Amino acid sequence: MRELALHILDLVQNSLRAGARMIEVEIVEDVDLDSLAIIIRDDGCGMEQALVKRVLDPFTTTRTTRKVGLGLPLLQMATERSAGEFSIDSKPGQGTVVKASFQHSHIDRMPLGDVGGTMLTVIVSNPTVDVVYRHRVGNRLWEVDTRVIKAEVGEEALTLPVVIQWLRSYLEQGKSYLYGGVVSDEISG
């Protein structure tokens, strides 16, 4: 994979296959501490500790469509190449937390990529799943919580073109805000 956003998509797909009804995606960038962290939490079926140890083997997968599972091993390798750390905490019946951290300035760190586009795809493709996306850059925080959106427009509206366009715009404005742009009070408040 060429960007971290694709790893995020892979992790979210793992959560969905595990039956998650709530998925949290958190990205924390701290240039002063030279760190980038990605945390994915879900309330899926979780894994026994024996499986947690095996999922980092590319030849271990729970899928029946193919014999290899490269997503987690590739992400672990990307963190190690970038002076980072990788961990999986999972408990049967309670869900899974995957944490990947990177040295922000490391020459081998993959670019973050189009996280907004990734989150838009996740939200629109899975309207019955609750998704919380938090992104912090320094002291700026942007959050999208589909529970709030659903309360306002209804779950079925998440697939309507006008709502998709609004969500795309909202995610773009979040990116602008996080990286130094200005966001109007109408959108952020």
Q: Which residues contact 9 (CB under 8 A, 6 or more apart)?
A: 118, 121, 122
Task: Compute the average pLDDT of residues 119-128.
Answer: 96
- For the sheet with 130-137, list strands across it: 85-91, 95-103, 35-42, 22-30, 130-137, 140-145
Angle in degrees, 0-180, between the axes of helices 161-178 and 115-125, rounded to the nearest 10: 150
Q: What is the 3-state secondary structure (H, E, C) of the chain?
A: CCCHHHHHHHHHHHHHHCCCCEEEEEEEEECCCCEEEEEEEECCCCCCHHHHHHCCCCCCCCCCCCCCCCHHHHHHHHHHHCCCEEEEEEECCCEEEEEEEEECCCCCCCCCCCHHHHHHHHHHHCCCCEEEEEEEECCEEEEEEHHHHHHHHCHHHHHCHHHHHHHHHHHHHHHHHHCCCCCCHHHHC
pLDDT in tens, 159-181: 999 999 999 999 999 999 999 86
Domain count, the chain: 1
CATH code: domain of residue 37: 3.30.565.10
Residue 83 sits in which domain range? Answer: 4-188
**For residue 50, what pLDDT is reported?**
85
Tell me the two tokens of residue 84. Answer: 């980072």
Q: Which of 32-41, 55-64, 76-85, 132-141 has the lowest mean pLDDT?
A: 55-64
Task: Compute the average pLDDT of residues 88-109.
Answer: 96
pLDDT band at 51 (very low <50, low <70, confident <90, very high): confident
pLDDT value at 66 more than 50: no
pLDDT band at 65 (very low <50, low <70, confident <90, very high): very low
pLDDT band at 56 (very low <50, low <70, confident <90, very high): confident
pLDDT value at 157 more than 70: yes
pLDDT band at 5 (very low <50, low <70, confident <90, very high): very high
**For residue 59, what pLDDT is reported?**
61
Task: Compute the average pLDDT of residues 19-35.
Answer: 97
Query: Residue 121: what are its φ and ψ, rounded to 5°?
Result: -60, -45
Decide if 64 contacts 118 (C-beta within 8 A).
Answer: no
pLDDT in tens, 129-139: 999 999 999 99
CA 26, distance to chain mean position in Å, is 6
**For residue 168, what pLDDT is reported?**
96
Tell me the pTM: 0.87
**Nearest CA-CA partner of 183 in 128, 121, 130, 137:** 137
